[in-house]
Amino acid sequence: MTYTLINVSSVTYAMKSKNILNNSGYYCEIEREERNKRSGCGYAIRIKDDPAVICGILERNGITTGERRTAERGNRR
């Protein structure tokens, strides 16, 4: 299955994102991004729903989202 990974700035924002999405009825997981191209390391949320919708929800809650990329289950990086 294909997922989307959306970078967020820190573990704090990843946790906050997860709570907001869960409370909005969306499932997500948190992943560590050791090789985040822009900033060296950080966290991403892994979602299977429409990334535009998800990012919209997060932005409305004051969370700045970063790079997005798709990944396959079992081969996330």
**Chain residues in the site for other proteins (CB under 8 A):** 9-13, 15-16, 19, 30-34, 36, 38-43, 62
- Residue 26 or 43: the one with the smaller Cβ distance to other proteins is 43
Q: How far is the CB of 19 from other proteins (least distance, A)?
A: 8
What is the nearest approach in angstroms of other proteins to the Cβ of residue 76?
10
DSSP string, 15-45: HHHHHHHHHTT--EEEEEETT-TTTS-EEEE
Q: Which two tokens stand for residue 69?
A: 């990329």
Question: Least Å distance between CB 68 and other proteins?
Answer: 18
